[in-house]
Amino acid sequence: MKYYLITLFAILVMSMYPNLYEAEEMVRVRLVNHVGDTSKIEFDLKGSYFTLDPTLKLEEGVSYTLTASKDSFLLKGGDESFEINHSLILIPESYDYQHVVTIDERPYLGAVEMTIEEKEFIRPINQLPLEDYLKGVVPFEVFPEWGIETLKAQAMAARTYAASHLHQEMDDTISFQVYGGYTWSDATTEAVNQTKDEVIMYKNKLIDAFYSASNGGLTESNANVWGGKAMPYFPIKEDPYDPTHPWEFKLNQTQINLDDINWDDPDWWDSLKEKDQAITLSMKKSLQKNGYPGEIKILSVPKFAVVNQQLASERSIKGSITIDFLQKLLDGTVLFQQIKLNEVNINQIRPMIGGNTFKSYFIEELENNNQVYTMKGRGYGHGVGMSQWGAHIMGEEGKSYKEIIEFYYPGTSISKLE
């Protein structure tokens, strides 16, 4: 069904717009970032759409509610209800900017397939031409107010990254590229149009055009982050353009004092509040994903340390963390638990703190004073490839997008995507 839809929709688009979309690649994007994990979504249609079920007729302007239940959907719209025992596929009768699927108030062009994940969640999958996908990526990856040369460099990197992952089903999060659907900016759309079909190549092959917000003044090797062979276009070198972006966060060693809990209070569980709730929320999500289901309350972090060992890029390699917490099972049983990660790769610890707090592995200091941990560092992200802030500074200094690409991906060339 999925491969049939790709072929059908691609033929439909190219037959109606042969000059505009001749040989253009199609992209499939799982919508996760804004939809989340939910068993119920709302959508409406602008323009005429059809499905692969000839008995199901959807109307423009009707607000539809789709609910998942195990292996089937219940679709409600107007005064009608439909039970669907397969994925729901919405295909525009023509591909243009007047045909839009709005999902939970966010518009999307192209076709949308509604599938069920884990017999519980609705997962929309958006299919559209590569260039229009990029117009929904670039304004969410950089500031549209930045200069046109910086925006063109970002469009180049985003296109190359997407083109190298075309046979992989991407999602709309930072795991691949942030994609906001048909929410475009004039400036970033112009940047995509001015670089149409241009990609970054090395020895006639597409590169994985990695980028991050800031490298802290020193670029990183791909091998240090993901392993494998170190690619020559991802060297470790000083970046005089990156503004370094110093960061700092504090974490209390004790989050909830056991001695302060009133065990006789029937609402004692709900009354427990951690001191650093943004960080402990990340800890809870990480613990739940790693074998501790149910509700969690973080009690303390008895140990949080970084091993005094660094890569050639001056980034830390290993660290340790111990977390004491209460786990409430579905039957109401409360367990005292402890998890210890001792001198593990630090990429196992950063997600527990949260990437928006623990911004990079470029750690300059970690101290514990009066039972409060303070970590300081610089950079934002993995540091491999292009620094988006560095590209912004280069653009401000009059550098062209080709000069930006040459600096951050040395030894590569710019070619047309075939």
Per-residue confidence band for 203, with pLDDT thresholds at 50, 70 and 90: very high
DSSP SS3 for 367? strand
- Mean pLDDT, to the nearest integer, of 123-141? 97
Of 271, 252, 253, 251, nearest to 261 (Cα)? 271
**Chain segment 299-329, per-residue pLDDT in tens:** 999 999 999 989 999 999 999 999 999 999 9
Specify the pLDDT at position 23. Answer: 53
Which residue do the tokens 């004039």 mark? 186
Residue 2 pLDDT: 38
Tell which residue, 49, 96, 36, has the closest CA to residue 77. Answer: 49
Q: 17 falls in which pLDDT band (50, 70, 90)?
A: very low
Q: Which of 18-27, 161-170, 235-244, 383-392 is the least confident region?
A: 18-27
Cβ-in-10-Å burial (0-12, 13-18, 19+) of 201 comes to middle
Locate the DSSP E strands across 215-269: 246-252
Q: State pLDDT tens for residues 326-362.
A: 999 989 999 999 999 999 999 999 999 999 999 999 9
Rounded Cα gap, residues 124 and 37, in angstroms: 11
**What's the average model confidence in pLDDT over 393-415?**
98
Q: What is the pLDDT of residues 257-280, one digit of tens each?
A: 999 999 999 999 999 999 999 999
Task: Tell which residue, 298, 295, 313, 315, has the closest CA to residue 352.
Answer: 298
Q: Give the residue-averaged pLDDT of 158-177.
A: 93
Q: Give buried/exposed letters for 97-113 (b at 16+ CB in 10 A, else e).
A: eebbbbbeebbbbbbbb
Residue owning tokens 């940047």: 191
- Torsion on CA atoms 305, 309, 313, 318, rounded to nearest 10: -50
Residue 221 has pLDDT above 90, yes or no: yes
Which residue's entry shows tokens 């494998």?
228
Containing H/E element for 185? Answer: none
H or E segment and range at residue 155: helix 148-163
